[in-house]
Structure 1
Amino acid sequence: MIFKNRRNEFEIIQQLLSLSLNGTKKTRLMYQTNMCYSQFNEYLHCLLEKKFLEPRSGNPHGTLYFTTEKGKKLLDSVNNTLLQAM
C-alpha cells in the first residue's frame, strides 16, 4: 500500500493563508485544512500572534479570519519555496 507523504509546516501554513484570503470562519478553516482541533489552534494562534492572520467581527455569521498584507507576503514566499523544492 502506498501512503501520501504528510504535509510539512510550509504546506500547512500555505493552506491556512490561502484559504483565508477572502475571509473564512474558524471551523471551516479547520475542516478545510483537515487538522485536529489542538493542532489547528497552535497554527492559528501563531499566525494571529505574528500578524499573518487577523480576525474581523461584525459579520452576521460570526468572526471571519483574513490573511493580512504581511500574511500575503509570507504566502508568496512559501509558494516560491515550495515551487523550488519540486
Structure 2
Amino acid sequence: MIFRNKRSELEIIDQILSLATEDIKKTRLMYQTNLCYNLFNEYLGFLLEKEFLGVKKGNPIGKIYYTTEKGKKFIESIKNVLYQVM
C-alpha cells in the first residue's frame, strides 16, 4: 500500500470549494483545509480571481465565502479527474 503525505493542488482546491458550498468564514475554511496562512491566501486569491468562490460582504460577522455556480461545475470536473487517476 502506498501512503501519501501531501495533497495535490487539485485535491486542495476541491476541498476548499466543497467546504464553501455552505457559507463559511475565512478562518474556519483555513483551519478545515489545514493550510498555513500564506498558502491558504494564495489559493483563496486564485479561486476568487477565477470566480470559483464568491464573497458576501456587509454581514455583521464579517466576510462570508461561498462556492459559485462556476465553482460547483469545477468541483464536478475535479472529482472526475481525481477518480480516474486513483
**TM bucket normalised to smaller:** over 0.9
TM-score by length of 2: 0.92
* Partner residue, 2:27: 27
Q: Percent identity at matched positions?
A: 61
Root-mean-square deviation (CA, aligned residues, Å) is: 1.4
Q: Identify the residue that residue 63 of structure 2 maps to in structure 1.
A: 63
State the 1:8 CA deviation.
Answer: 0.3
Q: Which runs of 5+ in 2 are unaligned?
A: none
How far 1:3 moved relative to its partner? 5.8
Q: Deviations over 1:31-82 (max 9, x none)?
A: 0000000000000000000100001023332111000000001000001111
Superimposed CA distance per residue, residues 11-32 of structure 1 (whole angstroms, 9 cap, x where no aligned partner): 0000000000011000000000
Residue segments in structure 1 that go unaligned for 5+ positions in a row: none
How many matched pairs?
85
Structure 1 stretches of 4+ moved >6 Å: none
TM-score (norm 1): 0.92
Partner of 1:40: 40
Looking at structure 2, the residues matched to 13 and 66 of structure 1 have their Cα atoms a distance apart, in angstroms, of: 13
